[in-house]
Amino acid sequence: MPANNPRKRTDPRVRRTRRLLRDALISQMLERDFASISIKEVTERAEVAYVTFFRHYDSLEQLLMEVLDEGLGELLLRIEMLAKKSDDSDLETEGRLIFEYAGQKADLFQILFKSPSVARVRKKVVRNIAATFRQSCLPLARSGHPMATAMLSHHIATSLLALIEWWLDNRMEPAPAQMGKVYKSLIIDSAVGAVNSVSAVPG
C-alpha cells in the first residue's frame, strides 16, 4: 500500500487504479448489496488485476469509506453553511440547496442508505414503528394530509430510534424519566407543532 503523501503528486497509474476501483464499487452497489459484492467482481468491472486491489486497500469497506468521504465532502460544506444561518428565509434556502444536492448525488446517498446488509434490518424496524405511529398517533391522524402523515411518522420513528441509540452510547444517561420529557418535547410536540407549518405540502 503506497503512502498517501499529499505533498508529492501521486503516480498517475495509482490515481487511475484507485479511480477505476471507486467507480466500479459505486456501479456494483447500485445493483447489489454491499455484503454480497466480492473483491474479484470489483476488480473485474474496474478491469484491474485482482491482486492490485490489495496493493491499495485492506478491505472493501475501506474502499467504501474512501468513496463516501470523497463524494459527501461537499455535503458537509453545505451543511456547515446551513448550520450558521439564523435568518428564517435563508434557512429555507439552504435547506432547499441540501435537497437539490442530494438529488444530484442521489447515487451516493442511495449507497449510504440502501446497502442492506444490516441496514435492511434497521429499515424494517423503522417501517414497523412508523406504521404504528401512522395508525395510532391521534395528532397525526388529525392532520389529514397523507404525504405529510407518512413523512411525519417516518420522522418520529427514526428520531425515536436515533434517540435510543444516542442514549445507549451515552451510557444510558440521563435517566429514563428525563428522556421521557425529551421524547415528548423534542419529537412529539415538535412534530405536532410542525403539522400546521407543513400543511401546504401537497398530498
The interface with DNA within residues 10-29 (CB under 7 A) comprises 11-14, 16-17
CB nearer to a second copy: pick between 52 and 94: 94
CB nearer to DNA: pick between 38 and 135: 38
Residue 141's binding partner out of DNA, a second copy, none, with CB under 5 to 8 Å set by partner kind:
none
- Find, among 30, 6, 197, the residue nearest to 106 by Cα: 30
88 near a second copy, rule: CB under 8 A: yes
Task: Give, in degrees to the nearest 5, the angle at Cα 22 between 20 and 27.
Answer: 95
Residue in 80, 143, 146, 149 binding a second copy, rule: CB under 8 A: 80
Residue in 27, 30, 32, 59 binding DNA, rule: CB under 7 A: 59
- Find, among 52, 63, 41, 62, the residue nearest to 17 by Cα: 52
Residue 41's binding partner out of DNA, a second copy, none, with CB under 5 to 8 Å set by partner kind:
DNA
Please give the full DSSP string across 107-154, using - where no structure is assigned: HHHHHHHH-TTTHHHHHHHHHHHHHHHHHH-HHHHHH--HHHHHHHHH
What number of chain residues touch DNA (CB under 7 A)?
Answer: 23
**Would you say 82 and 98 are in contact if contact means Cβ atoms under 8 Å apart?**
yes
Give the CA distances from residue 121 to residues 112, 130, 190, in Å, rounded to whole numbers and listed in that order. 15, 14, 27
One-letter amino acid for residue 61 of the chain:
E
Residue 56's binding partner out of DNA, a second copy, none, with CB under 5 to 8 Å set by partner kind:
DNA
The residues in 16-45 that bind a second copy, with binding defined as CB under 8 A, are 34-35
Give the CA distances from residue 87 to residues 27, 79, 83, 129, 201, in Å, rounded to whole numbers and listed in that order. 40, 15, 11, 34, 22
Residue 146's binding partner out of DNA, a second copy, none, with CB under 5 to 8 Å set by partner kind:
none
What are the φ and ψ backbone dihedral angles of 11, each rounded to 5 degrees?
-55, 130
183 near a second copy, rule: CB under 8 A: yes
145 near a second copy, rule: CB under 8 A: no
Residue 14's binding partner out of DNA, a second copy, none, with CB under 5 to 8 Å set by partner kind:
DNA
Residue in 32, 40, 106, 146 binding a second copy, rule: CB under 8 A: 106
CB nearer to a second copy: pick between 49 and 125: 125
